[in-house]
Structure 1
Amino acid sequence: MAPGPAKKPSRIQQRNRRRILDAALDVFSGHGYRGATLDQISEESGLSKPNILYYFDGKKDIHVTLLNQLMATWLDPLREMNPDGDPLDELLAYVHRKLEMSRAYPRESRLFANEILQGAPRMGPHLLSGLKPLFDEKTALIQRWIDAGRLAPVDPRHLIFSIWATTQHYADFDAQVRVLMTGDKAILQGADAYLDTMFRKLLTP
């Protein structure tokens, strides 16, 4: 007899999984994978360790689940780069979307940064299967724009790296930024204007 369809998780089960993942995001982004423990996740979520282990196989399972969810969200702004749009407008829109993600998802940015700093032991396959083909596609698109004289000549790979570095800095080094810019309540608005000017000057033919 063939097994029936998987039973849909109840509302309570869905809520508990969200609580665990949200708590784990705080713990992992603050302590890194190695420094995080199930005890910390339990305390943060308000759920017991046995309860957490009912939903996940352990710390690694929780971490990989978070990273898988993050990759989909993280790649969306790059996917949105339109081959039929104006090249400068498309790239500046990408810069603004990435900076907005630093504002909206600082914990996720730090989670991803911590994983990469450790050598991507859990994300390596996803970088190859998810990020690399998209990266190659978009760098080829940028190179076509450059070859057509629609953008100033730059190395598209280093251009994307520099966009990542300048936008994600505001999430990954948030504590340092806030100390150095004490009293400035519009840090990201200022960053948005500055990065727009910088990349516009760099890319305008």
Structure 2
Amino acid sequence: MKMKTFHVLWIWIFLSGFGDSATDGTDIHGYFGKGATIICSYSWASTNKKYFCRDPCKDSKDILVKSDQSPTGRYTLKDSGEGTFTVNITDLQESDSGIYWCGVDRSVKDTYQKVILTVSKDPSESITTSTQPYKDIQTSTDSHTITPAGHSESPSVTASKTTRYPSPDDITLSPSITASVNTTVYILYAVGGLLIAVIIFAVGLVTVHQYRKKNQDIRKLDRLHAAQSKQR
């Protein structure tokens, strides 16, 4: 009986010491500012130490959290003892994107499970609304000094109020007002053009009238000279 128990124990130690050195990768996607949960699996290592590290996971500085240490920072590790341990990451950053490894401490060679983490911005939070800018105009009322009984001095209290008014640059005319202004401008142009045309026409009439009158005067003089010549 003791020999059988020894063989079983030896086989368990042997399997926990070797096992697969690395397993296929797991793709995890998270959003900026949110959290991510990574479930790592193992076999024949319920009492072995577990850890979570970032690639290349060669030095202790690459290890982010261990099962035998208190969690620090944004990483926590919980071992179920039944073939899986869970790693939680909070407040994800885009710089967290990369390759990680779920590690199991073995007596001969540690085993790893590859994790590929991708962090992106949450599309639901990318919708933004624009509002009309305002300029702050601060107005203050007269200050009143409140002096409690038994005290000769106390700080004065000044009530202030901030009113927000649209800046002149932010005020735009509606289409109807713009159309009305344009129509008025066109009418003014038309009236001005008509006045100029009337003036030109009047000047032309006066010029023609003077020209005809001058011709008539010349003809009268010619007739008068002709009559005088006949009388001689």
TM range (shorter): under 0.3
Give the TM-score, by structure 1 length.
Answer: 0.17
Give the TM-score, by structure 2 length.
Answer: 0.16
Q: Which has the higher strand share?
A: 2
Q: Which has the higher helix share?
A: 1
